[in-house]
Structure 1
Amino acid sequence: MRVGIIGGGVGGLCLAQGLTKAGIDVTVYERDHTPESRLQGFRLNIEPVGSTALHACLPDTLWQVLVATAGDSGRGIGFLDEQMRPLIMVGRGDEAPDPLDPATGEHAVSRVTLRRLLLAGLGDVVHFGKEFTRLDGNEVHFADGSTATADVIVAADGANSRLWAQLHPEATRTELPAVAVGGKLFLTDETSAWLPAELLQGKNVFWPIRDFLFTAVFRRREDPSAVVDRLGPDLRALGVDPARLLADSADRDYVMWAYIAHRDAMPADFNSLDPEVAKAELSDRTATWHPALHRLIAASEPDNLFQTAFTAARPLSLGRAGNVTGLGDAVHHMPPVGGLGGNTALRDAQHLCAALTAVHKGERSLGDALTDYEQGMLKHGFATVREAVRNTEGAITRNTLKRRAARTFFRVCGAVPPLGRAVFAD
C-alpha cells in the first residue's frame, strides 16, 4: 500500500512519521520549496490529545527531544477581569505532571523545532516544491507538470485545501465577526521585574466588559546544547544530525498574548493596519485596564504582532469513504483559539495512522477502515469547531448583560469549589 500525503504541515508530517514507523510506503508532497520556508510564528501549545498523538507516531528519541526542547506553560488556567481580579483559578495549584507522560503532559513547542522534529529521519519521504493542482483518479498533478500516484491519498494541505475542495465542493466556511491580534513580550530581567506573578505562572483568560485577552508564558525546559549532549548519540543512531535538528531552537522565552474583539468595534481596515497603528488602537482600548495588562501590549515589539480574521468550516457529512481522505484544517478549519486546531490535526493523524496500519497488517479492508476513520474524524473535528466558535462568540459579544452574567458565573464557580470542579473538569 502506497500513501500520498498532500501537505507537509503538522498533521501531514505526524501522519508520515507514524506510517514510516509502521513500515508503510508513504510520500509527502509539500508546496514549500525548502524545510525552512516557514520558520516563524508563535509557539504551539500541545495539549494531552496532541501529546498522545505525537508520542504514538514519533520514534521514542524524537519524542524525548520534543519534550526536552519544549516550554512549560505552567499549571492550570486563570479567569480574571481586566483589573486582574481573580474570577476562578482552575488547576493553578495542581502538582506538575510528568512531561514525558503523553496522557497528561502539555508542551509549548517552538514551531521551528517542531517542524524539524517532524521532518527528522524522513529523508526522501518528503518532496518539496510540489504544489498540488488537481486529482485525476489516483493520479495527482502538480504545478511543475509532474504527477504521482498512490493507493491512498490524504488531503493535509490546510484551510484552503485544493484537494478537499475538488473532492467536496459542497464544503464551505463561515466568516466570524471577530478580529484578533497576537503579540509577544520577551522575558528579560527588566520585564520580569514588573510583570505580575499571574502572568508568569501559566495561562490566563481576561474577561472585561468588552473584548477579550488571553495570555500564556513560555519558558524552555532545557537548553538545546544540553539536549544535544544528552540525546545526541541516539539521534545519530536514527541518522539525524542533532546540531542541525536543533539549530535556531534556542528561541527567547516570552509571554504570549492574544487580543480578540468584535470586527465592528474596530476600524474597518484593522487587519491591514501597520502593526504600530494596530498596537496603538489596542493601547487606547486597554487604557483603563490594569496597568500591567496595558503595559504588556504597549511594550511588545511591533515586528512580532500577528493580525488575523476568524473563519470556521461548516459541518460536512460524508458517505462511504473512497481511497481519498483528509485531516486537520483541510476538513474542519476552525478559529485559532486555544490551540484546538493544531491538536485536532495531530489527533486525526494518529487515528488515520492506526486505520491504515490495520489495513497494512491485513486486519481490515481499506474501505471499512477509512469509513470508520472519517466518521470519527468528522464527529470529533466538528465538535471541536463548535467549541472554538462558541469560545469566539463569547469573547466578542457586545451584550453587556451576557458579559456580566459570565463573570458572575465564573465567580460563583470560584466560590463554590465542587461546582467549579464539575464545570471545569476537562
Structure 2
Amino acid sequence: MENTKGISRARFLAGAAAAGLAGAAALQPAGQAVAAPRRQRGLKHRGVVYTVGAGETPGTAWSDARMRRDVRLIRDDLHADTLDVTGDGVDRLTATAAEAAERGLHIWLQPTLGDVPEREILDSIAECGRFAERLRRQGASVDFSVGCEFWLFVPGIIPGETVLERVENLQKGNVDMARMQRRLARFTAKAAAVGRSVFHGRLSYAAAQDEEFEPVDWRLFDIIGIDYYSYFRDPSDHVRELRRYLRWGKPLAITEFGTCAYVGAPETAGMGWNIVDYTKEPNEIKGDPVRSERTQAAYLVDLLDVFESMDLYAAMAFEFVTPDAPHRPDDPRYDLDLASYAITKPIRKDPTDPNSPWHWEPKEAYRALSHRYAQHP
C-alpha cells in the first residue's frame, strides 16, 4: 500500500496537468462563511504519516512488533506529537491508533481503502470511526478523516477498475468532469454521513489541492484537510495558495507534504516517483538523478516555516517509511528510495532479495524534522 499511494499521488498531478487542471483558480465558497476560531501561535499539531498497508512482499509485510517500535520512536526520537494513521486493513489501522493513544500522541485516523466496492469502503469508514470514538471517549486526542481523494481510490467516480486505470483515463481525457464531480460529491456526502453517525469528535477529509478538480463542500466537515505538494521559490506564494482554504473559517490541516531525496525533486511538485521505470523487473531508476537527502530535508523545513507562520491546525509529513522502496547505495540503478517520499530509508540485509529482512535508517529529513519538532514539546 505504501508504494502504491506514493505513486498514485504523483500520477494524479501528472493527470491533472494533462487535463489542464493543475493550478486552477479557487471556487467560491458555498454558503455563508463561518466565524474564524481563535488562532494559536504556530502549528497546533506536528506529525508524520504512518501507512499500514499489508506490504507487497513477505519481506515488507505488516509487523505489529515493528509498528510498536516505530510509534515509540516517532514520539521519543522524532518528537512528533501527532500520528496520521492511514492505509487499509481495519485491524492494522486500529492497532496502530491504539498504540499511538497509549503513547499519548494526537491521532489522525484515516482509512484509505481502494479498488473495492463502495459498500466495503463505507463499512471500513464505519468500523474505524467507531474505534476512533471509543478512543475519544477514553480520553485520547483524536480526529477522524473519512478518507483521501475519493476520486482516485473509489471505483465508479472515474472510469477504471484500478487506481492506475483511473489515472490513465484521466491522463487520456476519458473523463466527463461534470459527471465525475457529481459522483464525487455524492460519495463524499455519504462518507461524511457515515463518519458523523459513529464518530462525535472532529471530522475531516484529505482532498487534492486543486479545488477546481476536486471541489469539496467543507460544510460537511470540521477540519479542512489538504494533501500539499506545491513548489515555489518564494514562501509568500505558498501562503497565498493556502490562504484560500481559510475562507471557510475552519481549521486547516496539511494531511500530507513532502518530496524525494534527489536534486530537483521539489520542483516536480509531487512527481518525484517519475524517475522509476516500473515496467522493468526489478524496477529501475531512469537517468542519473543525484541523490540529495539535504534537498528533501530543506523542502520539508521550508514548508514547516510556512505552516507555522500561518498558525495552521496540523501538518503531517509524508511519510515515515516506505518498505517497498529500499535504499541501494551499492547500485544507484536500483536505489528506489530515491523516488520515495519517506523520511527514513529501508535497507535490506540482502539487497537483491525482496523477501530479505530489513531495517530503516534515518535520512537527513528525519533529523531535520526531529530537531524542529523537539522545539515544540
TM over 0.5: no
TM-score scaled by length of structure 1: 0.23
Report the structure, 1 or 2, having the larger strand content.
Answer: 1
Larger radius of gyration: 1
